[in-house]
Amino acid sequence: MDTATGAAQAAPPPGRLVPPQRPVPDREDLATLKVVPARHYWRWVAGVAALVVVAQFSHGLVTNPGWDWDTFFLYLSADTVLKAVWVTLQLTVYGTALGFALGIVLAFMRLSRSVILQTVAWTYIWAFRSIPLIVQLLFWFNLAYLYKELGIGIPFGPVLWSFDTMNLVSALSAAVIGLALHQAAYAAEIVRGGIISVDAGQLEAAAALGIPRLRQLRRILLPQAMRSILPNAANEVISLFKGTSIVSVMAIGELFYQVQVIYGRNGRVVPLLMVATAWYILLTTLLTIAQYYVERHFARGAERTPPPTPLQRARTFTRRMRAAAATGGIQK
Amino acid sequence: MSTDSDPVTGTAAGTSAGSGLMVDVRGVHKNFGALEVLRGVDLQVRTGEVTVVLGPSGSGKSTLLRSINHLEKLNRGYISIDGELIGYRRVGSKLHELKEREVLKQRLHIGFVFQNFNLFPHLTVVENIIEAPVSALRRSRKAAVEQAGRLLERVGLADRADAYPRQLSGGQQQRVAIARALALEPKVLLFDEPTSALDPELVGEVLDVIKDLARTGTTMIVVTHEIGFAREVADTVVFMDDGVIVEQGPPAEVLDRPRHARTQAFLSKVL
Ligand SMILES: Nc1ncnc2c1ncn2[C@@H]1O[C@H](COP(=O)(O)OP(=O)(O)OP(=O)(O)O)[C@@H](O)[C@H]1O
Ligand SMILES: [Mg+2]
């Protein structure tokens, strides 16, 4: 039905022909009419064109001998590569754990009422965000050159314990320390952002209830802050995970370094870069999935009815398909 | 008594305990920067009594309530609850400011119900209620859950113990907030406009809970704009304006025969 012409007919402008009214079909007629969906031919053309490009690209990946898939599969799960993946994972886990632990402390320092703590934390964050990670890592690597010995003792007083820096700071721990210190500066700001996003009334209510201070932070503040901390934190973990490849400058046998060593020997650069890529993609995917479930955990209470997980959604889908197969028709 | 009575020499809090005085506010001044919000407030609430505080917006009602549980620090004057000075300890002629930890302990005796509920959204109703008894009073979880059940029954929400606050209506949330404050068995309950964030049809259910508390002899100070409620429940009505208490007395006097022009003007607007 055309309502626009109907409105126009209400007051036909003088000197214009009034178009003849079309017969309005009955309700029964409408119910029996067949609906023809709008056809979008150009959408189809564009879709097919895109598929052709993708097919060509995949064909190239599979058939171009330059990719050298045999070498790729040979090294994908080779012992040296697996060991290197393990080192990369260790760097990520320790870097994240130490970085965020220090970051949380720094965040609370910046939010504390003590001007001294605020200033110290602010300066730390300023410094470590200013120094490029690679420069910082090289500093740590050369620590022994700056300080021959590290000791524990009374400040400005006698030394009680001392270590030879050469032994203390192995290449791996130098890398972990470097990554963690760098990470802490960013983590501090992310954690602080999460904390200040929590409604001030929450802490006021906790204080009015006499809940002990530490408990207020752990039980009331942080779980709510986690909601805005998590997406950013996951970004940081993933970029730290890939950022560990920078550590290759310190000749540590992490994934990227190991791959370089191998193609230095056999000259198969491209397939070995693909090996590293595949591992980075796989592990990033796992991290992303973990992020989804952790976020969901901290979203409890945030929505009246939480949306189903992909797994739950898949289950409802298969149940519906099965029901459809049984009755011979798809139900909504 | 002078409104400017010195907190140090004032009739010390200890003497009031026997007389049935629960809340004693003396010569309280509070300013935010140059703005004087409380300008010498005196208020006494006896054990088991309900005091309703009325007054125009910005007159300092919230600030007074927040001072009573030391969410705001005073600039002058003092406040004591059941004979205990709030926020300070008197040693000889000196007042020592208490540490946060000690203030938190004092607050266990003072229940506070906020205008916008301030329930913890990530905790269920029952977790909201047991949080303070378990963490601050060191009650066993089991005992706290049982008590929470009784309190929820009292506010008519026994079946919603496992809901999250966002799954409740405003009126239900405020009733949970009241149950949460009651879980600490406070000596006095403070309400800051407990119904003004609610739709009109939800106001009644919250006021009914407060009326029930009044009947059982809970000492309360209620800031509200519900004149009908004040008339029905209050033992004392206090009218505040511009940082001072202009007039106080039984509801029949203050509400029906106000003596001060400012009280008359306010009541003629809200009635
Ligand atoms: N933290 C603060 N900093 C500065 N000014 C404040 C602060 N808190 C309150 N005030 C001011 O103090 C005055 C009294 O505020 P208060 O909240 O006690 O009023 P009220 O009587 O509760 O009003 P309402 O009925 O609108 O809630 C207001 O002028 C307000 O702007
Ligand atoms: Mg107020």
Name the pLDDT band for A1 (thresholds 50, 70, 90). Answer: very low
Quickly tell me which residue has 């600039």 as its tokens: B75
Indicate whether B160 belongs to any domain. Answer: yes
> What confidence tens digit (pLDDT) does each residue in A43-79 have?
899 999 999 999 998 888 878 887 788 889 999 989 9
Question: What is the rounded distance in angstroms from the CA atom of residue A85 to the CA atom of residue B17?
Answer: 71
* Number of neighbouring beta carbons within 10 Å of residue B53: 28
* DSSP letter (8 states) at residue B14: G
Q: Residue B178: which domain range?
A: 118-185
| Res A138: pLDDT | 85
In a mutagenesis test of the A interface, which of B120, B123, B178, B184 is the best target, namely the one with the most A β-carbons within 10 Å?
B120
Task: Tell me whether residue A259 is exposed, middle or buried, using C-beta atoms within 10 angstroms of its C-beta: 0 to 12, 13 to 18, 19 or more.
Answer: buried
> What confidence tens digit (pLDDT) does each residue in A187-227 have?
999 999 999 999 999 999 999 999 999 999 999 999 999 99
Indicate whether B178 belongs to any domain. Answer: yes
- What would the DSSP string read from start to end of B196-208? TTS-HHHHHHHHH
At residue B15, does pLDDT exceed 70?
A: no
Is residue B101 within 8 A of residue A213, CB to CB? The reply is: yes
The ligand 1 atom nearest the CA atom of B59: 21
Span B10-30, average pLDDT: 70
Name the pLDDT band for A38 (thresholds 50, 70, 90). Answer: confident
Question: What is the rounded distance in angstroms from the CA atom of residue B90 to the CA atom of residue A213?
Answer: 24
Q: Does B116 touch chain A (CB under 8 A)?
A: yes
Indicate whether B55 belongs to any domain. Answer: no
Indicate whether B250 belongs to any domain. Answer: no
Which backbone phi and psi does A132 adopt, to 5 degrees? -60, 140
Question: What is the rounded distance in angstroms from the CA atom of residue B261 to the CA atom of residue B267?
Answer: 10
| Res A69: pLDDT | 85
Indicate whether B156 belongs to any domain. Answer: yes
| Domain count for chain B | 1
| Res A319: pLDDT | 87
| Res A31: pLDDT | 72
Name the pLDDT band for B203 (thresholds 50, 70, 90). Answer: very high
Span B170-195, average pLDDT: 95
Indicate whether B122 belongs to any domain. Answer: yes
User: What residue in B sits closest to A199 (Cα-Cα)?
Assistant: B118
Q: Poorest-confidence range of A2-16, A29-43, B128-142?
A: A2-16
Nearest to B118 among A205, A213, A301 (CB): A205
- Rounded mean pLDDT of chain B? 90
Which ipTM score applies to this complex? 0.87
Question: What is the rounded distance in angstroms from the CA atom of residue B179 to the CA atom of residue A247?
Answer: 56
Nearest to B148, CA basis, from B164, B173, B116, B125: B125
Helix (H, G, I), strand (E, B) or coil at B189: strand
At residue B153, does pLDDT exceed 90?
A: yes
Nearest to B219, CA basis, from B43, B46, B92: B46
* Number of neighbouring beta carbons within 10 Å of residue A19: 11
Q: Does B71 touch chain A (CB under 8 A)?
A: yes
User: What residue in A sits closest to B113 (Cα-Cα)?
Assistant: A205
Q: Poorest-confidence range of A126-130, A187-191, A241-245, B118-122?
A: A241-245
| Res B2: pLDDT | 38
A15 token code pair: 């000197």
| Res A5: pLDDT | 44
Q: Does B185 touch chain A (CB under 8 A)?
A: no
At residue B238, does pLDDT exceed 50?
A: yes
Indicate whether B155 belongs to any domain. Answer: yes
- What would the DSSP string read from start to end of A201-263? HHHHHHHHTT--HHHIIIIIIHHHHHHHHHHHHHHHHHHHHHHGGGGGGGT---HHHHHHHHH
Q: Does A215 touch chain B (CB under 8 A)?
A: yes
Name the pLDDT band for B9 (thresholds 50, 70, 90). Answer: very low
What domains, with CATH codes, occur in chain A?
A: 77-148+162-299 (1.10.3720.10)
In a mutagenesis test of the B interface, which of A198, A209, A224 is the best target, namely the one with the most B β-carbons within 10 Å?
A209
At residue A93, does pLDDT exceed 50?
A: yes
Which of A6-10, A23-27, B196-200 has the highest average model confidence (pLDDT)? Answer: B196-200
* Number of neighbouring beta carbons within 10 Å of residue A311: 8
Q: Which conformational region is residue A68 in: left (phi greater than 0), alpha (psi within -120 to 50 degrees), or beta?
A: left
Nearest to B184 among A202, A204, A209 (CB): A209
| Res A174: pLDDT | 83
A79 token code pair: 């012992």
Query: Sign of the C-alpha dihedral, residues A105, A106, A110, A115?
Result: positive
Q: Poorest-confidence range of A11-20, A249-258, B40-49, B193-202?
A: A11-20
Calculate what percentage of chain B has a pLDDT beyond 90: 87
Helix (H, G, I), strand (E, B) or coil at B216: coil
Name the pLDDT band for B95 (thresholds 50, 70, 90). Answer: confident
- Rounded mean pLDDT of chain A? 84
- What would the DSSP string read from start to end of B36-97? EEEEEEEEEEETT-EEEEE--TTSSHHHHHHHHTTSS--SEEEEEETTEESSEEEETTEEEE
Nearest to B135 among A207, A208, A212 (CB): A212
Q: Which residues contact B36 (CB under 8 A, 6 or more apart)?
A: B29, B30, B243
At residue A21, does pLDDT exceed 50?
A: yes
Span A115-134, average pLDDT: 95
At residue A169, does pLDDT exceed 70?
A: no
Which backbone phi and psi does B45 adopt, to 5 degrees? -125, 125
CB contact under 8 A, A212 and B101: yes
Span A35-41, average pLDDT: 84
- What would the DSSP string read from start to end of A138-191? HHHHTHHHH-SEEEEESTTS-EEEEEEHHHHS-HHHHHHHHHHHHHHHHHHHHH
| Res A153: pLDDT | 65
Between residues B16 and A274, the one the model is more confident about: A274
Which backbone phi and psi does A150 adopt, to 5 degrees? -115, 135
| Res A172: pLDDT | 83
Q: Which of B29, B35, B223 to mutate to test the pocket of ligand 1 (most atoms within 8 A of CB)?
A: B35
Ligand 1 centroid–CA B59 distance in Å is 7
Q: Which residues contact A227 (CB under 8 A, 6 or more apart)?
A: A194, A295, A298, A299, A302
Indicate whether B59 belongs to any domain. Answer: no
Q: Which residues of B touch A298 (CB under 8 A)?
A: 122
| Res A24: pLDDT | 62
CA A209 to chain CA centroid, Å, is 37
